[in-house]
Amino acid sequence: MGHEGFGTSLRIYPDMNSLFHGVLFLSHFAILPLAAQVGDTTVRPGPQRFSEATSPPAANPIENLIRERAEALDQLQEEREIIFRKRAKFHMQREQSLADREEALTIRERQISTLEAALRTRESVVTAREAMISAREGFLGINETTPPTKKPRSPAPTIVGKYACVIDAISGTVLHEKDSQAKVAVASTQKLMTALLVVEAGDLDKKIVIQPEDVLVEPTIIGVKPGQSYTRRELVRALLIRSGNDIALTLARDHAGSIPAFAEKMNMRALSLGMVNTEFKNPHGLTVAEQGSTAYDMALLGRAAYAQPFIRDCIQTRSETFTFEDGSTRLLTNTNKVLTRLSSCNGMKTGYTNASGYCLVASAEKDTKALIVVVLKSNGTWVWKDTQVLLEWGMRS
């Protein structure tokens, strides 16, 4: 085979692997002329043998080139993989850093929103307190410099209720206390706070549509139905006269958007009144862990509610007909029986649960004197007797 044949053989192996095998094939046939020159006409297959005097053939340059090229490609691939891993790690670190920054921004935005909401609540509390003070001054014809009332010299009567407090509604002077700083459940008497927040917010003739979640409560209800609408004025009256828990939920949701948000407003308002041992969790007073107040704190609440003319009108109403949207009616009878037993009594709010026992915040007014009496954890009908004797004692003193 001549040079022309060798060139033809190269052309038929276009890739490196085929070229390598082609070179080996041609090298085998290149031995034939060399064998003929030394007189050996027979070429046997198998490995070639060389004498000690004869040197092995030189390495094929094409094989070396292929090997070097393969090694270079392997090294290049390894270097590229190392670079790729480094870049991938760097990008992962950047992504994690961005995620951490986003989370930090979200937390910061949430904190700012909370602070802004707290500031708005605080501003509304200050405004409401100013309005309450002005209303109280206008109704009672006094100002904040009214001198404190002298405490009675005669001892207060003994009562069954475990906790009690009697204060002067005009000056706020404490006239009598019985474990008045003990924090206990106060049941529906805390609806006074629910009513106070709604009345202070104003717009009492605005209509509220009853929602399904508003009526998911027991046991004392007025019986409103989802989809019906009533004014805030109608609902506050029903709340204070007959103590409807469904009404309390409706007013709370309308006022704050949710029960937890309304409870927060209740607690903010309580602090503004000096009720430092009070924590409210719902607008109706049904038993919840850690919810409670004290006889003294409830007296402060009663005094603030008493300064609102509309609330005073509601709590002294003995009975009233509630008209449902469908035209049906229900007679609402005030749960405060002291209203019918003592002529000077002009209202306030009852409460009862197994945890709280029988509770009552009551008010009375006679001549130039006005009192707030709180009795907590009494028994059965004794709550009416306890309250009545304390009111009578306060009026005599």
The whole-number pLDDT of residue 9 equals: 42
Q: Among all residues, which ones are annotated catalytic? A: 188, 191, 243
Encoded tokens for 196: 């106070």
The whole-number pLDDT of residue 145 equals: 52
The whole-number pLDDT of residue 21 equals: 52
Which residues of the chain register pLDDT less than 50? 1-14, 19, 23, 26-43, 50-52, 142-144
Encoded tokens for 3: 């040079």
Report the C-alpha gap between 137 and 378 in whole angstroms.
33
N residues, the chain: 397
The structural architecture, per CATH, of the domain 139-396 is: 3-Layer(aba) Sandwich (3.40)
Encoded tokens for 84: 């790729």
Report the C-alpha gap between 128 and 316 in whole angstroms.
23
> Cα-flanking dihedrals φ and ψ of residue 200, to 5°?
-65, -30
What are 237-274's pLDDT values in tens digits? Answer: 999 999 999 999 999 999 999 999 999 999 999 999 99
- Quote the mean pLDDT of the chain: 85
Give the pairing of strands 174-178 and 163-168: antiparallel
Domain positions in the chain: 1-37, 139-396
